[in-house]
Structure 1
Amino acid sequence: MSRYRFIAAERGYYPVRRLCQVTVPGSSYYAWQAGQQRAVGAATPAWETTLVKTFRHHKRRYGTRRLQVA
């Protein structure tokens, strides 16, 4: 079990601040937690997928203005 999962499992019994003092920095735990929520959450929006395809199609040379027009 990783340290982050340990904190997530024990947060009902002890304050997260105290668990983080003992194991990892609090910012690291909350960054891990946000990453876990993103992985579980919805898939990438369609506009973002299209944006990445267009950016790659133009060999990563288009800036924000050109991408907005495209």
Structure 2
Amino acid sequence: MSRYRFIAAHRDQYPVRLLCQLVQVPASGYYAWQQAQQQTVTKPEPAWETALVKVFGVHKRCYGTRCL
């Protein structure tokens, strides 16, 4: 478990600044990590990727040509 994940898991029980001091990371680093995590979660899946997954499923999850 990373230090930032530890802080996120325990932030309901203790203040963030106290947890940051405990694991020896700056509070600004934690908040930057948290913002980066939120941006990756809210990023929508591109349309081409959705189409690719659909075609992959139609072809019985096979990639490439058959070897004889």
TM-score range, shorter chain: 0.5 to 0.7
Gaps of 5+ in 2: 45-68
Counterpart of 2:28? 27
The normalised TM-score by structure 2 is: 0.59
Distance 1:21 1:32 in 2: 16
Please tell me the residue identity of whatever aligns with 2:43. A
- Give 5+ residue unaligned stretches, structure 1: 44-70
SS of equivalent residue, structure 1 residue 37: helix
The alpha-carbon deviation at position 42 of structure 1 amounts to 3.1
Larger radius of gyration: 2
Shift of 1:41: 1.0
Distance 1:3 1:42 in 2: 24
Provide the rounded CA distance (Å) in 1 between the counterparts of 2:30 and 2:43. Answer: 22
Q: Which amino acid aligns with 2:5?
A: R
RMSD between aligned residues: 1.5
Q: Which aligned segments of 4 or more residues in structure 1 are displaced greater than 3 angstroms?
A: none
Residue matched to 1:5: 5
Work out the number of aligned pairs and report it: 44
Q: 1 or 2, which has the higher helix percentage?
A: 1
Identity among equivalent pairs (%)? 65
Q: Distance in 2 between matches of 1:4 and 1:42?
A: 21
Aligned-partner residue type, residue 40 of structure 1? V
